[in-house]
Amino acid sequence: MLNKVMLIGNLGKDPEIRYTQGGTAVATFNVATTEKFKGKDGQMQDQTEWHRVVAWARLAEICGEYLHKGSKVYVEGRLQTRKWTDQNGNEKYTTEIVAREMKMLSPRGGSDQDSYGGYQEPPFPDSPQGMMGTGEDVPF
C-alpha cells in the first residue's frame, strides 16, 4: 500500500515545538498551498488549502530552528487521521501529514543568496577535468 503526501507551500506561522514525556521533540505547523485558476467569469482566482504538518525527533528540532512564518517549504510524509475526545466528551478527528522529509525552499535570512535552508551548494570545480559534462553528452 502507498500513503505518500508531497506539498510545497508557505508556513502560516512559526512552528510550535513540544516534547513528549520521554524527551522526543514534536513540531507542528500549518502549510498553505494555493491553486490559481480561471473562474467562470474569466477572472483569475486563488484557492488556498491549509495542511497540518507534524514532525518528530531531529526533524522537529530542525523545523523549529529554521522555519518561520512565511517560509516556503517542501514537505514529504504520510497522511494520518487521529481521533480524540475533547473536554465536553465529544469525539473529534484531525487529519495531518506526518513529515518524513522537509526541505527549506526560502533563501536563508530572507535574502536572495545562493544558500537555501542553511545548506549551501558546493562550488563547481575550476578545472575541466573535475566537471561532469555540460549535459550535451547525455543520451536522452
pLDDT of residue 121: 33
**Structure confidence by residue, pLDDT tens digits, 80-121:** 999 989 999 999 999 999 999 999 998 865 533 333 443 333
Q: Residue 70: pLDDT band by 50, 70, 90 thresholds?
A: very high
Query: The domain 5-130: what is its CATH number?
Result: 2.40.50.140
pLDDT of residue 106: 85
Going from N- to C-terminal start, the domains of the chain cover: 5-130
CB 67 within 8 A of CB 10: no
Cα 72 to Cα 32, 98, 108, 118, 119, distances in angstroms: 9, 18, 11, 13, 15
Cα separation of 115 and 65, whole Å? 16
Q: Which residues pair with 120 in a beta bridge?
A: 115
**Structure confidence by residue, pLDDT tens digits, 7-60:** 999 999 999 999 999 999 999 999 999 999 888 888 999 999 999 999 999 999
Q: Which of 13, 10, 7 is nearest to 98 (CA)?
A: 7
